[in-house]
Structure 1
């Protein structure tokens, strides 16, 4: 009986995760420790069996959390755990733009010493190719805002997303 109650609670927790809410929370968490911790809490019920976008956001949230840890060992452990989720999401849905968008954001902002920068060019090309047909609009806007402030994209590439 306890198992059934736990299963039902977990099921409704997972269903109650609104992807649009997570997208906004992720954008806001980029440079705010309390929002990173809140995002991690929101995504705590997400497992590797969920959809690729949620898995990628969970990975990004864990990787962002690593930034605020005190010990190097814990920073490394959390970063590796987060990256594992992101890579799993891309393996699970290689043609989905959202996990690649999340990965490029993490890779672009990761220190060189972590050696997690090898997919920036690949993800950038994929995102530029898929951007015009991206749905929903909130995701497209989020990606567009990222591209415009990103150092990974040239001025010519940024101009492409501004053309209607």
Structure 2
């Protein structure tokens, strides 16, 4: 029994480590093309099919349009469709909302993928206090550097 519990614990820590790596890489992805490519590669390597991992994979597909010359429109459309589907299935997941907000905030306006920014920002503010410490820290870091949040809104995220 102890062996079984140890294996489950090890699996959870292994999964958390992958998720933490994805989060860290995603946070740095817009700083340079090299970081974007590193995030895309990391996301593609992930074998998990949970909603959050799938959300990062969809974001990677959208971001791939930034560093490639071919099929940009198809990459954005495919990634956005996938991300919207994942969020529709998991509407109360704060991390998925953060991913979508950050994608929409950083994608060129001409693409037209910006319709959920206000909704997602409001969702993040309203649900911040209900999250665990790790997610609170992640959301706070995002909000502090985000172009979408005002100083007043940032102050509500403590």
**Superposition TM-score, scaled by structure 2 size:** 0.81
In structure 2, distance between residues paired with 1:146 and 1:59: 19
Between Structure 1 and Structure 2, the one with more helix by share is 2
Residues 37, 67 of structure 2: 8 Å contact kept: no
- Structure 1 ranges of 4+ moved more than 3 A: none
Unaligned 5+ runs, structure 1: 1-14
Residues 58, 85 of structure 1: 8 Å contact kept: no
Q: CA RMSD in A?
A: 2.2
Corresponding residue for 1:92? 89
Encode CA deviations 1:58-117: one digit per residue, 9 max, x unaligned: 11111111111224xx11111112212211220121111011000000111111111111
Residue 39 of structure 1, CA deviation: 2.2
Structure with more contact order per residue of length (Cα contacts < 8 Å, sep ≥ 6)? 1
In structure 2, distance between residues paired with 1:138 and 1:85: 25
**Superposition TM-score, scaled by structure 1 size:** 0.79
Greater shift after overlay, 105-114 or 28-37? 28-37
Equivalent residue of 1:22, what SS?
A: helix
